[in-house]
Structure 1
Amino acid sequence: MATYDPFRDLDRLASSLFDTRRGPRRMPMDLYRDGDHYVLTADLPGIDPGSVDVDVDGQLLTIRAERTLSTGDGVTWITREREAASFLRQLNLGQGVDTDRISASYTNGVLSVTIPVSEKAKPRKIQVTSHAGDAVIEAHESSEEPRLVEQ
């Protein structure tokens, strides 16, 4: 049995009246790079997988989700703290990702989006040849200094 708190209902009423977050809620998210792809994970507990929508428009990734709660006909609520809500998150992907191969999965309330790095954005070695003698200069797209290699 919970103890009675006369201010709890007043606090809940004030929160509902003055809550400025009436629009879509932001979802907590992690983003990291793992080799040749980025991984985005977002918490969406209590969300029906059918309501999750992930789309890409140009370089803008948009994640939308909707949490609906059943009203329960003939039910007398004792307390109801969970709210129906819509969630929205938008990210600008930049130019270094392959938007055609983005994939997403939803398991146990966590949305995982895999964003591959484009072939153009991956580090690569560029070989530079010299016409003076038989020397070949190798250059790398990194902070390393070019080195001279004799053939």
Structure 2
Amino acid sequence: MAMNFDPFRELDRLAGSMFEARGPRLMPMDLYRDGDHYVLSADLPGVDPGSVDIDVDGQLLTIRAQRTLTSGEGVKWLTRERQSGSFLRQLNLGQGIDTERISASYENGVLSVTIPVSERMKPRKIEVQGGAQQNTMTIGTGSEEGSGTQSAS
């Protein structure tokens, strides 16, 4: 009886067991700016929203989450591709972020974090004040008799 040996299956199994022991996994995310705030969307399917922890320390935003898969007693797995474990993502926010007003929501396996731009970093219009008189520039020549000045408009 010949045994079928699949080197790719073995390599996949070995790589899977190595990654499983490495610790926190990264979570895929998108980040974009929408007007006066940034929006971060991270995929966390199967994660209990109560296990999600978001904190800001200075300018470092850290997101942690835990996914726990339940299995009944005496269950014999046929295949198990969904992994339990912890997820971690850290971002340096840089300057100009209002860290006091960061908010988050979780819906359909997607964590959304809204990161507002601080008021002082928002673009603003500067009003140009018009004077009642026309401004003139006086240029001194120093070589003429009399006033020694010329006016330019």
**Structure 2 length-normalised TM:** 0.75
Q: Partner of 2:70 in structure 1? A: 70
Q: Which has the higher strand share?
A: 1
Q: Percent of pairs identical after alignment?
A: 68
The residue identity in structure 2 corresponding to 1:58 is G
Q: Partner of 2:32 in structure 1? A: 32
Q: Partner of 1:81 in structure 2? A: 81
Q: Partner of 1:97 in structure 2? A: 97
When the two structures are aligned, how many residues end up with a matched partner? 131
Superposed displacement of residue 13, structure 1 = 3.5
Residue by residue over 1:100-136, the C-alpha shift from the partner in whole angstroms, topping out at 9 and shown as x without a partner, is 111000001000000111100001123455879356x
5+ long unaligned stretches in structure 2 = 136-153
Q: Over the residues paired in the alignment, what is the CA RMSD in angstroms?
A: 2.4
| Larger radius of gyration between Structure 1 and Structure 2 | 2
Give the whole-Å Cα distance in 1 for the aligned partners of 2:99 and 2:48: 25
1:1-150 to 2 correspondences below 5 Å: 6-7=5-6, 10-19=10-19, 22-127=22-127, 129=129, 133=133
5+ long unaligned stretches in structure 1 = 136-151
Give the whole-Å Cα distance in 2 for the aligned partners of 1:57 and 1:63: 12
**Structure 1 length-normalised TM:** 0.76
Which range moved further: 26-35 or 12-21? Answer: 12-21
The residue identity in structure 2 corresponding to 1:79 is T
